[in-house]
């Protein structure tokens, strides 16, 4: 797949040109609207700095959360504009609208090497519309911000699996290029997709089997082992006949898990012990490590147990390629983070001791690495796109990448 890159655009020259950049700033916020993980902002900096250094007039589009096509101050990009200003060392103005009067005035007023951010593109219902004409109308208005001789740079890897106006349709209306982040993500992830060195170990967690079903189906023929933890493991354990009490369960997926275990039971590795809690809030809960049928009545499991970590680590120690997507437990609560931390450290050991090529597939997995204070250099690549990385591994076409091809 061949596409133009940021280097191609810089070689053509960007001085004095408006460049519209689609970034992924869908960062987590706490109740005080403070950013709790700025990883996606940090990942955007190389592309933005290169354009600014080249003298471009940079207009950035992004989304935050799911405001459902309505203006909602809770999803304003104001915290992002502030964090980006600090990270770049220069002021990043935030327009009060997306394609309205303020956005146009600010875009027209940019000088060489200046940058602005328009408000959350998902404040406009046309961004995510299923109607191509509606999306196209919005894309026309976004492209108009770049004026004559403008360009579009796609640098939000976390959204390239979406055929949305600011990702897909606008790329048909301006000369389009892959940013540094998107190019790097595709290069690294394709190493796993195309020719993974064996043994190839996949680690899957998170809450729902349904979210990972396509990956399990797609990778069962390629991977040597698939290690399953997190909330999704309880549906598999239920399929095996274990009573997981009040643990998270997708009842409608139990039969699917039975089928997966029947077909791929030699590859799927499940926990052998669990952390049980009397209630979800770890500060109030009584905790105990139990075997698979030892969860007390009405309790729930919130993490895999230490023997499971040891078992998973033994498999990872033999690996040469690792793809990890999804935490092993409720890592946001310290008492429930030991499984995720233990498995993450085993992946780091594989990187350093085996020379394994290890990829963290974005989403909560990437957030957990930073939340737990783990060494990010201990992984070969930490993706910024959870859903995008999963769909790429499933072998699906990513609309936001396909539209860049020439």
Asked if residue 187 belongs to a known ligand binding site, the reply is no
Asked if residue 273 belongs to a known ligand binding site, the reply is no
Our answer to whether residue 387 is catalytic in this structure is yes
φ, ψ dihedrals at 353, nearest 5°: -90, -35
Interhelix angle 39-53/363-371, nearest 10 degrees? 100
Classify residue 49 by burial, with Cβ atoms within 10 Å: 0-12, 13-18, 19+. middle
Asked if residue 332 belongs to a known ligand binding site, the reply is yes
Asked if residue 117 belongs to a known ligand binding site, the reply is no
Rounded-to-integer distance, Cα 190 and Cα 33, Å: 35
Asked if residue 26 belongs to a known ligand binding site, the reply is yes
CB 327 within 8 A of CB 365: yes
Asked if residue 25 belongs to a known ligand binding site, the reply is yes
Our answer to whether residue 184 is catalytic in this structure is no
Element (H, E) at 321: strand 321-325
Our answer to whether residue 208 is catalytic in this structure is yes
Q: Which one is catalytic: 305, 363, 378, 385?
A: 363
199: preceding bond cis by omega (within 30 degrees): yes
Retrieve residue 365's tokens: 């997995």
**58, β-bridge pairs:** 19, 115
Asked if residue 370 belongs to a known ligand binding site, the reply is no
Asked if residue 40 belongs to a known ligand binding site, the reply is yes
Asked if residue 212 belongs to a known ligand binding site, the reply is yes
Q: Which one is catalytic: 40, 173, 225, 338?
A: 40
Q: Which one is catalytic: 49, 113, 136, 208?
A: 208
Interhelix angle 101-109/132-145, nearest 10 degrees? 40
CB 228 within 8 A of CB 206: no
151-176 core/surface letters (b: 16 or more CB in 10 A; e: else) = bbbbbbbbbbbbbbbbbbbbbebbbb
CA angle 179, 366, 284 (to 5 degrees): 150
Asked if residue 64 belongs to a known ligand binding site, the reply is yes
Q: Which one is catalytic: 39, 179, 229, 387?
A: 387
Rounded-to-integer distance, Cα 175 and Cα 9, Å: 9
Our answer to whether residue 363 is catalytic in this structure is yes
Asked if residue 65 belongs to a known ligand binding site, the reply is yes
Annotated binding-site residue numbers for ATP: 212, 332, 362-365
Annotated binding-site residue numbers for (2R)-3-phosphoglycerate: 40, 122, 162
- Residues designated as active site: 40, 208, 363, 387
Annotated binding-site residue numbers: 24-26, 40, 63-66, 122, 162, 212, 332, 362-365
Annotated binding-site residue numbers for substrate: 24-26, 40, 63-66, 122, 162
């Amino acid at each position: 797949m061949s596409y133009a890159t940021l280097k191609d655009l810089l070689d053509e020259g960007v001085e004095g040109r408006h460049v519209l950049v689609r970034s992924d700033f869908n960062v987590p916020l706490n109740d005080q609207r403070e950013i709790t993980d700025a990883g996606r902002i940090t990942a955007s900096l190389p592309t933005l700095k290169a354009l600014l250094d080249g003298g471009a007039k940079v207009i950035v589009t992004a989304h935050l959360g799911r405001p459902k096509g309505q203006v909602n101050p809770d999803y304003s990009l104001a915290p992002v504009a502030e964090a980006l200003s600090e990270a770049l060392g220069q002021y990043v103005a935030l327009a009060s609208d997306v394609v309205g009067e303020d956005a146009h005035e600010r875009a027209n007023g940019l000088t060489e090497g200046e940058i602005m951010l328009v408000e959350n593109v998902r404040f406009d219902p046309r961004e995510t519309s299923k109607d191509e004409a509606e999306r196209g109308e919005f894309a026309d208005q976004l492209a108009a911000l770049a004026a004559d001789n403008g360009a579009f740079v796609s640098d939000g890897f976390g959204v390239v699996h979406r055929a949305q106006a600011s990702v897909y349709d606008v790329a048909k209306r301006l000369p389009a290029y892959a940013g540094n982040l998107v190019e790097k993500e595709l290069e690294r992830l394709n190493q796993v997709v195309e020719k993974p060195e064996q043994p190839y170990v996949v680690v899957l967690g998170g809450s729902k089997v349904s979210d990972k079903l396509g990956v399990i189906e797609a990778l069962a023929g390629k991977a040597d082992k698939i290690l399953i933890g997190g909330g999704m493991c309880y549906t598999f354990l239920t399929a095996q006949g274990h009573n997981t009490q009040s643990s998270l369960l997708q009842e409608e997926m139990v039969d699917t898990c039975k089928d997966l275990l029947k077909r791929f039971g030699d590859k799927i590795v499940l926990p052998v012990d669990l952390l049980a809690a009397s209630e979800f809030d770890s500060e109030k809960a009584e905790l105990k490590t139990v075997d698979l049928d030892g969860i007390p009545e009405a309790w729930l499991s919130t993490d895999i147990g230490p023997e499971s970590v040891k078992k998973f680590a033994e498999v990872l120690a033999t690996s040469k390629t690792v793809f990890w997507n999804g935490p092993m437990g409720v890592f946001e609560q310290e008492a429930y983070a030991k499984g995720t931390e233990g498995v993450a450290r085993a992946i780091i050991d594989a990187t350093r001791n085996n020379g394994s090529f290890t990829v963290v597939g974005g989403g909560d997995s990437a957030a957990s690495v930073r939340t737990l204070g783990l060494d990010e250099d201990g992984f070969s690549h930490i993706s910024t796109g959870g859903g995008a990385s999963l769909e790429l591994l499933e072998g699906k076409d990513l609309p936001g990448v396909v539209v860049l091809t020439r």
